[in-house]
Structure 1
Amino acid sequence: MKVHELPQFTALQSAADSFKSDEKLHLRQLCSDSSRCAGLVASHESGDAKIILDYSRQQVTGETMETLFDLADKVGFTAKRDKMRAGAKINSTEGRSVLHHALRMPKGYDYSCNPEGKAILAEVHEVRDKIEEFTNKVRSGEFLGATGKQLKNFVCIGIGGSQLGPEFVNEALKADAKAAKAAEGRNLRFLANVDPVDFELCTRDLDPEETLIVVISKTFTTAETMLNARTAKKWIIDGLAAKGVTDAGTITSKHVIAVSTAIDKCVDFGIDEANIFGFWNWVGGRFSVCSAVGVVPLSLQYSYDVMSSFLDGAHNIDEHFFNAPLRENIPVILGLLGL
């Protein structure tokens, strides 16, 4: 039986119609019911941190929520969630696993529920260690640009999931005191649009001598990304030529890095293989911020320590999602409210 044919789904459709037509179910009336409001709260505590989800301002009642939880049970949500955790290929359109949660597991984590868990975790931390080492060198001044100046500007070139998540996190971290302090004197920019006006606005106040380009493309063939990458590379080369540095190969190796799985294409572009950071086909684009896609540029701007804390927080919520009962599970409740 398909989801829309289940009695729970039909009941939810009827409830939705009632909320539209019954004045007693208007949000003004619902919010005046103190017992209802008190029942539509979930929380998650970890150490000194606590997250409280108050969803009493949603057009639902306790009965609505019970129907939603019943629907989740009926479709086997918990079993499907466990399959995702264990590495089953739940991405049926591409025949892939969905393992973005593995990106934020700490070293030594028991990932035995996945037959390939140990190997996956080893690969994840190999990349994370490489990111930590490189970004620390850039931030400390050990890795310098072609003219010997410290790299303080980071232009992140990507599109879709390679741009949106990292840019959102960048905006959020600006409001965090520790992250903001770590970013002092540095600039992180994102470039997705191929309009030359956008490129001009993105780079007009940056010094090519102090700029590192981060090209993000799994295949290194995405048309928009590669057009911007070529434009940025030329901007760097032309800018440094004016300073007397004319070796394009040296300039590229010092001022362009990549997040990609296409190592040969990156090397052909002039990028030093040591400065190519990989990820895996089980990282969906919209979930890629916790991979090198987000961790490389954000670590350059805010430090790897800050990003490591970010990943630890994401892992904490992963554990809550996988283990908390559905009626207390914040990500599950948010998903059901969306339905």
Structure 2
Amino acid sequence: FVDYSKNHIDDKIMQLLFQLADECGLDEAITAMFTGEKINKTENRAVLHTALRNFSGKPVKVDGQNVMPQVQAALKKIKQFSEQIISGSWRGFTGKPITDIVNIGIGGSDLGPVMVTEALQAYRVEHITPHFVSNIDAAHIAETLKKLNPETTLFLIASKSFTTQETMTNAHTARQWFLHTAPKPEFIKKHFVAISTNQEGVEKFGIAPENMFIFWDWVGGRYSLWSSIGLSIACSLGY
């Protein structure tokens, strides 16, 4: 819905805008996007963040494959995990519930969640505090870690490839900080989760494969908060 009442757009201008949309093939472009055509010509990818908001469950296809079962499974996993965090049933290595969540990512893996959690501060879960680390400058993560208790902190490592230099540098800093307190490396599984597609890299880091949340190359960075990248939002505000 757009309120046109406080501008100089009259009926004539609206008709000209509709005419321009027709001349540009807007209807065809919208249909192409919603049906999974690869309208991202630069990367030869579909642009289907709309599938993440398709609560009807109607099929949405990419390369002839319906992606909705994958989408529904990923969203269900986010819901279940965030409910565990908020309820306190997910416990750290000393048996304490999580009180702080640190999202480590850059670009679209950071900006959307930061924006939503800042804009909706009034609706945050009182006992969960979100933090966001995106700068490779060591001061950023160092200042964040000063505020935290390893026993009650959960790190979300957001990198599709799990090789992004800035993200992984900060992730390894967080891992080292955590292991300075945690007596066993296997405790990483209770305090680190991955938002990625690189299961081998995730497991090598020490994160359990069941704690890996997937997303797809047809989710553009600016829309990724609707995908598993929005895990920090769900854990901070509720699903």
* Same fold, TM-score > 0.5, yes or no: yes
For the aligned residues, what is the CA RMSD? 1.9
What is the alpha-carbon distance in structure 1 between the residues aligned to residue 130 and residue 5 of structure 2?
Answer: 35
Equivalent position of 1:282 in the other structure: 218
Equivalent position of 2:238 in the other structure: 303
Give the counterpart of 2:179 among 225, 233, 237.
Answer: 237
Aligned-residue sequence identity (percent) comes to 38
SS in 1 for 2:58: coil
SS in 1 for 2:34: helix
1:33-77 Cα distance to aligned partner (Å, 9 max, x none): xxxxxxxxxx3xxxxxxxx524634x6554444333221110111
Change (3 A) 1:252 1:95: same
What is the alpha-carbon distance in structure 1 between the residues aligned to residue 187 and residue 58 of structure 2?
Answer: 43
Equivalent position of 2:53 in the other structure: 104
Give the counterpart of 2:227 among 288, 291, 294.
Answer: 291
Q: Map 1:146-225 onto structure 2 (within 5 A).
A: 146-175=93-122, 179-180=123-124, 183-225=125-167
2:59–2:67: 8 Å Cα contact kept in structure 1?
Answer: no
2:189–2:206: 8 Å Cα contact kept in structure 1?
Answer: yes
SS in 1 for 2:51: helix
1:155–1:190: 8 Å Cα contact kept in structure 2?
Answer: yes
Deviation of residue 115 (structure 1)?
Answer: 7.3
What is the alpha-carbon distance in structure 1 between the residues aligned to residue 22 and residue 81 of structure 2?
Answer: 46
What is the alpha-carbon distance in structure 2 between the residues aligned to residue 257 and residue 270 of structure 1?
Answer: 9
Equivalent position of 1:323 in the other structure: none
TM-score of the pair, normalised by structure 2? 0.93
Deviation of residue 290 (structure 1)?
Answer: 0.1
Runs of 4+ residues deviating >6 angstroms:
115-118
Deviation of residue 162 (structure 1)?
Answer: 0.6
Q: Is residue 2:8 matched to residue 1:53?
A: no
SS in 2 for 1:53: coil
SS in 1 for 2:154: strand
What is the alpha-carbon distance in structure 1 between the residues aligned to residue 171 and residue 43 of structure 2?
Answer: 28
Letter in 2 for 1:291: S
What is the alpha-carbon distance in structure 2 between the residues aligned to residue 86 and residue 225 of structure 1?
Answer: 33
Equivalent position of 1:15 in the other structure: none
5+ unaligned residues in a row in structure 1: which ranges? 1-42, 44-51, 305-339
What is the alpha-carbon distance in structure 1 between the residues aligned to residue 13 and residue 143 of structure 2?
Answer: 49
Deviation of residue 104 (structure 1)?
Answer: 1.5
Deviation of residue 293 (structure 1)?
Answer: 0.4
Q: Which has the larger radius of gyration?
A: 1
- Higher RCO (CA < 8 A, seq sep 6+): 2
Q: Map 1:43-82 onto structure 2 (within 5 A).
A: 43=1, 53-54=3-4, 56-57=6-7, 60-82=9-31
Letter in 1 for 2:137: D
Deviation of residue 199 (structure 1)?
Answer: 1.4
Change (3 A) 1:147 1:92: same
Give the counterpart of 2:184 among 247, 264, 273.
Answer: 247
1:271-299 Cα distance to aligned partner (Å, 9 max, x none): 011100001111111110100001x1111
What is the alpha-carbon distance in structure 2 between the residues aligned to residue 162 and residue 263 of structure 1?
Answer: 18
Letter in 2 for 1:290: W
What is the alpha-carbon distance in structure 1 between the residues aligned to residue 62 and residue 77 of structure 2?
Answer: 25
| Count of paired positions | 239
What is the alpha-carbon distance in structure 1 between the residues aligned to residue 64 and residue 82 of structure 2?
Answer: 27
Q: Which has the higher helix share?
A: 1
What is the alpha-carbon distance in structure 2 between the residues aligned to residue 83 and residue 135 of structure 1?
Answer: 34
Q: Map 1:80-95 onto structure 2 (within 5 A).
A: 80-95=29-44
Letter in 1 for 2:95: G
TM-score of the pair, normalised by structure 1? 0.66
Equivalent position of 1:47 in the other structure: none
